[in-house]
Amino acid sequence: MIEVKNINKSFSTNKILRDLSAKFETGKVNMIIGQSGQGKSVLTKCIVGLHEVDSGAVSYDGRNFSELDSFERREIRKEIGMLFQGSALFDSMTVEENIMFPLSMFTNMTKKERLERANFCLERVNLTGKNKLLPAECSGGMQKRIAIARAIAMKPKYLFCDEPNSGLDPQTAIVIDNLIREITYEYNITTVVITHDMNSVIEIADNIIFIHQGQNWWSGDRNSIIKTDNKEILDFVYASDFMKRIKDLMQTKI
């Protein structure tokens, strides 16, 4: 479990996170939602240590990440897989090399073993045989799946996904969502997903945290988010005409 306690983060005079606390449970898809500019990505970057928090604590299964030195942090980071918004694949490496990269850096596996693991991960994301392609030769959806394959190569305990569906068509978005959910349950990973996509929230979220004005404004599950009367959440969830119509339909049925 990842626990965030009373964290604050500012950039010069701009206060982004205000006394934010949250828990991300193991074996569940924990989703962070909220409008743009409310601090979702900053929160994730604080959790993985890409940004230093001004105050507060982040702990991974009881290990206080904020108090560790850079070498001890690296050990925890080896247990983290991260899917970035733009995939962040190394463009000078092939698909296979991208997936084998963390294995080459941190394990003593032989080349054959690394290749077997890369092939297994590629098979897991339904990209068997795409080993020798360069990231530039892959579509957006393929790049996301390769990034997931790279993220799970080291059998992580924690998986972070920053807007995994951004820029994808609805069908591919569903494929990515299902993949994240399956991997979370299959390997009992603590998964944290940042998203704007309400479809993803309704489909795969086990726990939801709604960030507003840098605070944990609301938390609950996918059933309670539909029933809540919190104004900020309603404004966010039913921002589009499509969602408003669904809401009207639901009310008519009731």
Partner 1 sequence: MNILSNIGKYFLMLGIIFSKPEKGRIFRVRLFNELENIGIKSLPIVTILSVFMGAVISMQTAANMDYPLLPEYTIGFITRSSTILEFSPTILSLILAGKIGSNVASEIGTMRVTEQIDALETMGVNSLSFLVLPKIIAAILFFPIMTIFSIGLSLIGGWIAVVSSNLSTTETYVFGLRSFFVLGNIGYALVKTVVFAFVIVSVSSFYGYYTKGGALDVGRSSTQAVVMSSIIILICNFFLTQMILL
- Give me the residues that bind partner 1 (CB under 8 A), please: 45, 48-50, 73-78, 80, 82, 84-86, 88-91, 101-102, 104-106, 154, 160
- Phi-psi category of 80—alpha, beta or left, where left has phi over 0 and alpha has psi -120 to 50? beta
Nearer to partner 1, 163 or 233 (CB): 163
Nearer to partner 1, 88 or 202 (CB): 88
Smallest distance from partner 1 to CB 47, Å = 10
CB of 83 closer than 8 Å to CB of 165? no
CB of 117 closer than 8 Å to CB of 153? yes
Q: Please choose, from the candidates 181, 120, 161, 169, the residue with its C-alpha nearest in 3D space to the C-alpha of residue 141.
A: 169
Smallest distance from partner 1 to CB 91, Å = 8
Nearer to partner 1, 78 or 247 (CB): 78
- CA–CA separation, 149 vs 139, rounded Å? 15
Q: Please choose, from the candidates 76, 82, 43, 74, the residue with its C-alpha nearest in 3D space to the C-alpha of residue 62.
A: 76
Smallest distance from partner 1 to CB 247, Å = 36
Smallest distance from partner 1 to CB 232, Å = 29
Nearer to partner 1, 108 or 251 (CB): 108
